[in-house]
Structure 1
Amino acid sequence: MLTIYGMPDSGNCYKPRLVCALLDRPFRHVGVSTNDGGTGRPDFLAKNPNGKVPLLELDDGRLLPESNAIAFFLGEASPLVPTDPFERAEMLSWMFFEQYSHEPYVAVRRSLTIYPRLARLATPERLAETLKGGMKALGVMEGRLGEREWLAGTAASLADVVLYAYTHVAGEGGFDLSAYPAVKAWLGRIEALPGYRPMHWLPAG
């Protein structure tokens, strides 16, 4: 069985769990947290020298880090990956957008807000920078989703899954999603997908 190492309250760690839920793929979850130093333990660093979660471990012992790479591996040859080459590349472009233009602002501002250990980094300048960048990213998504139901192709794809992870909790970082009605409607469509599970869901056992 697949093993996912991660934190229940991390959007990056939620991505592979949500992919598995949507595809009805069984997996085992092992809790490892940055908050208690778990990602810095020698046994975990032996698996991922970068000391970050999520981390996917295959049955044969191979290890795959990075949330979007894990999502892509899990979603390969599934309905979450478009078969059309352009639509598949379009999906990847939104996944890159998530990591470079969305996560550094929306996710980081949320982390600065909800994790006490990061409070010292939540300077007015940093909060202003992440608010500005996050609003820009949400605005880009609003423009796209004002024209179509899904970010890439004609159905939900991995692009929607990975961008959902931190967008749906953007309010925890001080972003007002009421200013983005198309994004809010899109969140509802994802939450209506068969197999959807909320952020803190973990498999039984």
Structure 2
Amino acid sequence: MKVYGDLKSGNCLKVKWVCDRLALPYSWIAVDILKGESRTSQFLKLNGAGQVPVVEFDDGRTLAQSNAIIRYLARGSDLIPSDAFAAAKMDEWLFWEQYSHEPYIAVCRSQMVYLGKTASDLDPDKVKRGYAALARMEHELASKRFLVGDRFSLADVALLAYTRLAHEGGFDLDGYASLRRWIDDAEKALALPPARI
């Protein structure tokens, strides 16, 4: 299996983390999105949307979209709850991450880290929505260890990728004690070095 991705991308890291956690054999093929390497004709044959990550399986089939990839790779593992409703709650978080979290937290980070914007240059609506996403997570995590109860799941993998780096997008996590505790627990579950929050 080949994983095409950029290690600066949280969406790509999700796939790497799941492969590593489940000891799945893979080759990492670096794609520098800032240099336009996901827009070459060769890459577009793998994913016509020109986005990373993409997984190419040994039989030539490809799969894109980080949450679809991790959902597929983790089938039958402890990263997906065996209870059908708990698995659906995990999926609920996966969809929410891409619609209500990543477009704000990750975009603000990208604009500051890669485009050199300052926090005051960011779109105030994106900042407001980013804080709303963090507040929702803080509220949920005040009463449970992980996003789907007391078990680490793909929901945590998906939300960890950009939440642990939210400070790089100008988001102050000082007032989010439950969220900071969860980041620490999730990083430990994935054997990651701690992010400097």
TM-score normalised by L of structure 1? 0.90
Instruction: Provide the C-alpha distance between the structure 1 equivalents of 2:193 and 2:5, rounded to a whole number of angstroms.
Output: 15
Aligned residue type for 1:189: D
Runs of 4+ in 1 over 6 A off after TM superposition: none
Change in CA separation of 1:21 and 1:198 when aligned onto 2, cut-off 3 Å: farther
Instruction: Provide the C-alpha distance between the structure 2 equivalents of 1:28 and 1:88, rounded to a whole number of angstroms.
Output: 29
1:158 matched residue in structure 2: 154
1:203 matched residue in structure 2: none
Aligned residue type for 1:81: I
2:32 matched residue in structure 1: 33
1:196 matched residue in structure 2: 191
How many percent identity over aligned positions?
42
SS of the residue corresponding to residue 177 of structure 1 reads coil
Instruction: Provide the C-alpha distance between the structure 2 equivalents of 1:198 and 1:59, rounded to a whole number of angstroms.
Output: 31
State the shift of 1:22 in Å.
1.3
Residues 1:4 and 2:26 aligned together: no
Q: Does the 8 Å contact 1:110/1:173 carry over to 2?
A: yes
Residues 1:171 and 2:170 aligned together: no
Larger relative contact order, structure 1 or 2 (CA cutoff 8 Å, min sep 6): 1
State the shift of 1:198 in Å.
5.0
SS of the residue corresponding to residue 46 of structure 2 reads coil
SS of the residue corresponding to residue 190 of structure 1 reads helix
Instruction: Provide the C-alpha distance between the structure 2 equivalents of 1:12 and 1:139, rounded to a whole number of angstroms.
Output: 21
Aligned residues: 193
1:137 to 133, 137, 143: 133
Cα deviation digits, residues 154-174 of structure 1 (max 9, x gap): 310000000000000000000
Query: Which structure 2 segments of 5+ residues have no match?
Result: none
TM-score normalised by L of structure 2? 0.93
Cα deviation digits, residues 122-179 of structure 1 (max 9, x gap): 984x531211011000000000000100101431000000000000000000001111
SS of the residue corresponding to residue 52 of structure 1 reads coil
Aligned residue type for 1:148: K
Cα deviation digits, residues 53-97 of structure 1 (max 9, x gap): 000111111000001000101111100000101000000000111
SS of the residue corresponding to residue 53 of structure 1 reads coil
> Could you say what the CA RMSD is over the residues aligned between the two structures, in angstroms?
1.6
SS of the residue corresponding to residue 149 of structure 1 reads coil
SS of the residue corresponding to residue 175 of structure 1 reads coil
Cα deviation digits, residues 2-59 of structure 1 (max 9, x gap): 1110001100110000111111212110011220010110000111110000001111
Residues 1:63 and 2:58 aligned together: no
Aligned residue type for 1:79: D
SS of the residue corresponding to residue 179 of structure 1 reads coil
1:13 matched residue in structure 2: 12
